[in-house]
Amino acid sequence: MELKHIKNLSLIDNYLLGNLSEEQNQEFLLRLNSDEELRKEYAFVKNLPTALLENRSRRLRNKFSTWDIENSVNGSNDSRQLLFPWKKYMAIAACISLLIFVATMVEFNSEIDTASIFADNFSPYPSETVRGEESDKGYIFYSNRDYNKAISAFQKSKDESAKFFIGNSFLALNEPNRAISALNSYKGKKYKLAAQWYLALAHLQNNDSSAAKAILENLTLQKGAYGKKAFSLLQTI
Amino acid sequence: MIEEECLKRIRSGDETALKEIYLQYQSEFLIWIGKFSGLNSKDSIEVYHLTMLAFFENVKNGKLIELRSQLKTYIFGIGKNKAKEFKRLYQGKNLSLENFSIEFAAEEKTTDEDKNHMIQMLKKGLKELGNPCRSLLEAFYLDEMSMEEISKSFDYKSASVAKTQKYKCIQRLKKIVLKNSH
């Protein structure tokens, strides 16, 4: 049964991607008329590329807005700044416009839920470089996105950073409560701000936007990338 | 050569490469597009976003592999068309900018309510689906990567494992969409 579904899906994919010959195309269209299962499968998959594209565009737009804000908060020391001394004022204007724009978009998208904001903002923290130590196994599994094995390996490690990566792994596995517990237990300095950022995301994943907001508001007081990211994310909650 | 390298990095999913290019041309573009089209600063930023979205999709789906001109010329060329399109469609109209999709999505515009409803359900479902499924589906349907390429990129043992994984992702997505529609 599963094999038939996989074959149907493969046929639909080839049709959508234009990989079928003229004859195969005709055959496919005829089968669509007579095969209800294929027709149902096609009705679902045919809109997937558009949905994926719109989804990716929205994620990218959010990123662009974050970069715009980062850029205008940072200012710039490069030569382009000297060529265009009024860039600073443009950047401020751009920043204000963006905030208005983001606020408007939030109104337009009253449906926005914490799960989607989480999905737009979460990507696991990059793995540490392997150094030939016991905890390395965890980082190898983590880099390979094998988060269950990574957690088992990290749990055997005495390295404080392992707790941070356990938190990230649970987030990637969609287990916010266990992520929150792991991130709260992390007491190291190395990932202190990053841990707060991921803790906020874990609360978002858990549908608890007020807990996420409280953490993000604290983070905005910090200098550096996480302060800016927190500022930007707060505009969308 | 460095620019070609940047395109390769974007194609392979390196977000920092896109960010570098985005920031590199941003201020010059905003000044230029303002002079060229007379757009205000808010609309100029919007046009820059649309330009960079189109640029990104062209790189990812293989439309732009080799540069026949400087990268800046290419990006500004897209920007020129986007500004014209933007002015034609939106200037002076109080419409949602979300509706202003990039090139090939725009070609697919339809008034079919069922289709639009399905797309909205899928978009919501995709957010819940998360990664790696979402990235895998993007790699296949948007970036047109082969199963062989996907298996390498996602560390699957073989193309057939990647194919099964993609099937499972679609099944999961179906369940989510079904659950959300009740």
Task: Give per-residue pLDDT as tens, A62-78.
Answer: 899 888 877 765 554 44
| Closest CA of chain B from A12, distance in Å | 12
CB A161 within 8 A of CB A78: no
Determine, for residues A47 and B115 on separate chains, whether the beta-carbon distance falls below 8 Å: yes
Would you say residue A131 lies in a domain?
yes
B6/B17 Cα distance (integer angstroms): 6
Chain B residues whose beta carbon lies within 8 Å of the beta carbon of residue A45: 170
3 state DSSP class of A97? helix
Confidence band for A130, pLDDT divided at 50, 70 and 90: low
When pLDDT is cut at 50, 70 and 90, the band that residue A86 belongs to is very low
Ranking A190-204, A214-228, B12-26 by mean pLDDT, the lowest is A214-228
Among B46, B122, B133, B142, the strongest candidate for a mutation testing the A interface, having the largest count of A CBs within 10 A, is B122
Residue A168's domain is classified under what CATH number? 1.25.40.10
| The predicted structure's pLDDT at residue B97 | 44
Measure the CA–CA gap between A101 and A94, rounded to whole angstroms: 10
Both A138 and A229 in a single domain? yes
Whether A145 and A183 map to the same domain: the answer is: yes
Residue A169 lies in a domain: yes
pLDDT at B103 > cutoff 90? no
Q: Dihedral sign, CA of B67, B77, B135, B159?
A: negative
One-letter identity of residue B159: A
One domain for residues A37 and A102: no
For chain A, the 3-state helix, strand and coil shares in percent, each to the nearest 5, are 75, 0, 25
Q: What CATH class has B113-181?
A: mainly alpha
Q: CA A69, CA A91: separation in Å to the nearest integer? A: 9
pLDDT for A128 beyond 80: no
Do A176 and A190 share a domain, yes or no?
yes
**Are residues A183 and A137 both part of a single domain?**
yes
Unique residue bearing structure tokens 């820059």: B48
End-of-domain residue from the set A86, A111, A136: A111
Average pLDDT rounded to a whole number, residues B34-49: 88
A118 contacts A213 by C-beta, under 8 angstroms: no
Which tokens belong to A177?
Answer: 């409560």
Chain A residues near residue B143 by CB distance under 8 angstroms: none
> Minimum mean pLDDT among A82-86, A93-97, A198-202, B177-181: which range?
A82-86
Nearest CA in chain B to A104: B96
- Residues A224, A143 within the same domain: yes
Q: Sign of dihedral through CA atoms B127, B131, B132, B135? A: positive
Q: Pick the residue with more confidence: A80 or A131?
A: A131
Inter-chain contact A145–B132, Cβ cutoff 8 Å? yes
Verify that A62 and A34 share a domain, yes or no: no
Are A164 and A188 in contact by the 8 Å Cβ rule? The answer is yes
Rounded (10°) CA dihedral A106, A110, A116, A122: 20
Together in a domain, A160 and A196: yes
Residue A102: domain span? 48-111
- Contact of A162 with A181, CB cutoff 8 Å: no
Domain boundaries along the sequence of chain B: 2-107, 113-181
Task: Check: CB of residue A202 under 8 Å from CB of residue A176.
Answer: yes
* Cα A77 to Cα A72, A74, A100, B29, distances in angstroms: 12, 9, 27, 18
Q: How far is it, in rounded angstroms, from Cα A103 to Cα B84?
A: 26
The CA distance from B48 to B30, in Å, is 7
Q: How many structural domains are present in chain A?
A: 3
pLDDT tops 50 at residue B115: yes
Do B74 and B64 meet the contact criterion of CB atoms below 8 Å apart? yes
ipTM field: 0.80
Find tokens 């819940």 and name the residue: B128
Distances in Å between the alpha carbon of B56 and those of A91, B91, B130?
Answer: 23, 24, 21
Residue A116 is assigned to a structural domain of this protein:
no
Per-residue confidence at A18, pLDDT binned at 50, 70, 90? Answer: confident
* CA B143/CA B176 separation, integer angstroms: 24
Half-sphere exposure of residue B94, counting CA atoms within 13 Å on the CB side? 2
**Does residue A183 sit within a domain?**
yes
Q: B126 touching A, CB under 8 A?
A: yes
Q: Which of B98, B122, B134 sits opposite A47 (nearest CB)?
A: B122
- Measured between beta carbons, the chain A residues lying within 8 angstroms of B96 are 108
∠ CA A33-A45-A109, rounded to 5°: 130
Is residue A75 in a domain?
yes
Higher pLDDT, A11 or B92: A11
| Of the ranges A176-180, B10-14, B104-108, B114-118, the best mean pLDDT one | A176-180
- Which of A98-107, A220-229, B80-89 has the largest mean confidence? B80-89
pLDDT given at position A49:
92
Phi and psi at residue A175, to the nearest 5°: -120, 75
Interface contact flag, B142 A53, Cβ < 8 Å:
yes
Query: What does pTM read for this prediction?
Result: 0.55
The residue-averaged pLDDT of A18-38 equals 90
A112 vs A10, residue with greater confidence: A10
Q: Which fold does the domain B2-107 belong to in CATH? A: Rna Polymerase Sigma Factor; Chain: A (1.10.1740)
Q: Tens of pLDDT along B124-157?
A: 999 899 889 999 999 999 988 999 999 998 999 9
Which residue of chain B comes nearest to A141, CA vs CA?
Answer: B155
- Provide the mean pLDDT of chain B: 84
